[in-house]
């Protein structure tokens, strides 16, 4: 199995090195414009948040998979896990936030030993939309996770799962051998509980992100293809497909550089820049909290260790009004959010 | 300057052809864009046709572009290869069908 950049001592495990690449090269020598200049053209610099709608909490970088494109650099060897103490601070925030959506992510959030306790407590806060980003295979990884579909159902959790393709070959290439079969089995289990069925209130959405150095195509067309193939081949149903662009950070950046696709990919992103997507980028309505309680504009900035530009940087001092009054920290990876129809954790934005 | 007639980075510069002849350049790109929109044929079908034709006209830029386009549209490599075969079959058929002309001429000239 592949390992995380961190455990390989890869130079990109140092976030400064990633930022150096994103700020240098073709951008520094003027071949491509900086993101800042691009959004300045439409009066969006500095980028500012709008109303906070989504609280995204990353409960740890540990994962049962080591996907090649992972922007978290997650894997079984990552030990950064949110403690119950930090979760207690998060619960206070969840009870008092103006956000309507709570979005738990990782790694594989289910691998956090306090995950179930946290979900039970958070569900009591009565937040409108409670999302868990589950990688599907975790449900089949070990007996202790087999009941997850029932657990999700009990707490009316909205499940969002990654599925790179509806064919075995493409899925396993991106996410590892055997991932496709396990994911199919997990989806069938979720369907059996009512998840993803047409009239069901148990939401099951899939996330598609390209298995390589190219941008996602039209979200609706991809959704139609996925729906048709999964239904015909495996009798699987789901609600929506979110097409997400891979951002050039962490392992995906490593892949781009190693495969000599970095420049072409950045060109594609800049070429596909859509000014209409800027006002809808994720960081304008989301904040991201890390396993150790730091606050970021988004999960990507978290992985680049770019903490919010605010007096309040940690949840122990949490104050939503102060945090919302900030400039968002941007760099060239942000082009990933504004390419084509735009990209966010909820799919396209424009 | 790359010492080659085909330089893959030149594909990025395709849009620049409008700089030397703006009106017809833009007309071409408008037309091109329109052609590949969803219509009676899906954008996916058109992408596969474009990939097949790219091979027949042997344009390395088009092959790069429509391989990437196919990936973006979730087209599988098996579908892409079948499209290439469809193009190749037409191309070889177009050669072979001239064999009839050869036969006609042969027969006409022979006693
Ligand atoms: S992409 Fe998701 S499933 Fe894959 S290694 Fe990263 S966190 Fe785990
Ligand atoms: S990468 Fe983060 S900060 Fe940049 S545009 Fe996307 S959501 Fe906003």
In ligand 1, the atom with minimum distance to the C-alpha of A106 is 7
Name which of A167, A212, A271 is nearest B71 (Cβ-Cβ): A212
In ligand 1, the atom with minimum distance to the C-alpha of A63 is 8
Residue B1: predicted pLDDT: 53
Which pLDDT tens digit goes with each residue over A91-133? 999 999 989 999 999 999 999 999 999 999 999 987 889 999 9
Which pLDDT tens digit goes with each residue over B6-31? 988 899 899 999 999 999 999 999 99
Give the gap in angstroms from C-alpha B43 to the nearest C-alpha of chain A: 9
What angle in degrees, to the nearest 10, is found between the helix axes of A168-175 and A179-192?
110
Check if A225 contacts B (Cβ < 8 Å).
yes
Give the gap in angstroms from C-alpha B98 to the nearest C-alpha of chain A: 41
pLDDT at residue B37 tops 90: yes
pLDDT at residue B55 tops 70: yes
ipTM of the complex: 0.80
Name which of A217, A267, A271 is nearest B72 (Cβ-Cβ): A217
B contacts of A214 (beta carbons < 8 Å) = 68, 71-72
Q: How far is the CA of B4 from the centre of ligand 2 (A)?
A: 39
A positions 237-266 inside 8 Å of B (CB): 264
Check if A221 contacts B (Cβ < 8 Å).
yes
A301 lines ligand 2 (CB under 6 A): yes
State how far the Cα of A44 lies from the Cα of B5, in Å rounded to an integer.
42
Which pLDDT tens digit goes with each residue over A174-214? 788 888 999 999 999 999 999 999 999 999 999 999 989 99
Tell me the pTM: 0.91
Which pLDDT tens digit goes with each residue over B63-98? 999 999 999 999 999 999 999 999 999 999 999 999
B contacts of A167 (beta carbons < 8 Å) = 76
Kindly identify which residue of chain B lies nearest to residue A169, measuring between CA atoms.
B76
Q: Which of A274, A282, A287, A273 is nearest to A324 (CA)?
A: A287
Q: How far is the CA of A8 from the centre of ligand 1 (A)?
A: 17
**Which strands, in side-by-side order, build the sheet including A54-58?**
A241-243, A204-208, A158-162, A129-134, A101-105, A54-58, A286-289, A295-296
Residue A173: predicted pLDDT: 79
Nearest CA to ligand 1 atom 6: A70
Residue A168: predicted pLDDT: 86
Nearest CA to ligand 1 atom 7: A107
Residue A126: predicted pLDDT: 78
Q: How far is the CA of A238 from the centre of ligand 2 (A)?
A: 27
What are the two backbone dihedrals, phi and then psi, of residue B78, each rounded to the nearest 5 degrees?
-65, -40
Measured CA angle at A192 (ends A191, A197), to 5 deg: 40
State how far the Cα of A83 lies from the Cα of A114, in Å rounded to an integer.
8
Low-confidence ranges of chain A (pLDDT < 50): none
What angle in degrees, to the nearest 10, is found between the helix axes of B43-56 and B60-72?
160
Q: How many helices (H) and strands (E) does chain A have?
A: 16, 8
Q: Which of A159, A161, A177 is nearest to A169 (CA)?
A: A177
DSSP state at residue A283: G
Best mutation target among B45, B68, B74, B80 (most A Cβ atoms within 10 Å) is B74
Kindly identify which residue of chain A lies nearest to residue B68, measuring between CA atoms.
A214
Check if A146 contacts B (Cβ < 8 Å).
no
Residue B4: predicted pLDDT: 85
Residues on chain B bordering chain A, Cβ-to-Cβ distance under 8 angstroms: 12, 42-44, 68, 71-74, 76
Residue B2: predicted pLDDT: 58
Residue A299: predicted pLDDT: 96
User: A67, A175, A182: which to mutate for ligand 1, most atoms within 8 A of CB?
Assistant: A67
């Amino acid at each position: 199995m592949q390992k995380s950049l961190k455990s390989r001592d890869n130079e990109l495990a140092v976030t400064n090195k990633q930022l150096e690449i994103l700020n240098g090269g073709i951008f520094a020598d003027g071949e491509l414009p900086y993101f800042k200049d691009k959004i300045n053209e439409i009066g969006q610099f500095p980028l500012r948040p709008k109303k906070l709608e989504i609280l995204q909490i990353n409960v740890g970088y540990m994962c049962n998979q080591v996907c090649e494109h992972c922007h978290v650099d997650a894997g079984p060897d990552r030990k950064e896990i949110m403690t119950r103490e930090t979760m207690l601070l998060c619960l206070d925030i969840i009870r008092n936030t103006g956000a309507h959506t709570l979005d738990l992510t990782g790694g594989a959030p289910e691998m956090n030993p306090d995950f179930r306790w946290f979900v039970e407590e958070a569900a009591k806060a009565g937040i409108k939309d409670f999302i868990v980003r589950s990688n599907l295979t975790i449900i089949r990884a070990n007996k202790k996770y087999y009941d997850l579909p029932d657990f999700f159902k009990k707490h009316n959790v909205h499940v969002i799962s990654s599925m790179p393709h509806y064919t075995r070959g493409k899925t396993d290439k991106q996410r590892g051998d055997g991932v496709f079969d396990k994911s199919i089995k997990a989806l069938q289990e979720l369907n059996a509980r009512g998840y993803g069925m047409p009239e069901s209130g148990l939401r099951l959405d899939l996330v598609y992100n390209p298995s390589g150095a190219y941008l996602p195509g039209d979200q609706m067309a991809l959704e139609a293809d996925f729906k048709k193939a999964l239904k015909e081949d495996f009798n699987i149903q789901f609600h929506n497909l979110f097409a997400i662009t891979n951002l050039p950070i962490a392992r995906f950046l490593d892949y781009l550089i190693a495969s000599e696709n970095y420049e072409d990919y950045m060109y594609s992103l800049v070429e596909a820049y859509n000014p209409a997507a800027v006002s809808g980028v994720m960081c304008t309505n989301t904040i991201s909290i890390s396993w150790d309680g730091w606050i970021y504009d988004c999960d990507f900035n978290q992985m680049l260790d770019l903490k919010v530009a605010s007096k309040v940087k940690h949840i122990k001092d949490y104050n939503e009004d102060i945090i919302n009054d900030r400039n968002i920290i941007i760099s060239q990876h942000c082009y990933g959010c504004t390419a084509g129809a735009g990209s966010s954790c909820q799919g396209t934005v424009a | 300057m790359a010492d080659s007639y085909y330089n893959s980075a030149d594909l990025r510069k395709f849009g620049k052809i409008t700089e030397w002849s703006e009106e017809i350049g833009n007309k071409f790109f408008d037309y091109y864009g329109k052609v590949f929109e969803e219509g009676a044929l899906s954008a996916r079908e058109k992408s596969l046709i474009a990939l097949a034709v790219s091979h027949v006209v042997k344009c390395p830029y088009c092959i790069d572009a429509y391989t990437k386009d196919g990936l973006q549209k979730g087209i599988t490599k098996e579908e892409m290869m079948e499209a290439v075969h469809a193009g190749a079959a037409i191309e070889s058929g177009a050669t072979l069908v001239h064999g009839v002309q050869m036969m006609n001429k042969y027969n006409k000239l022979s006693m």
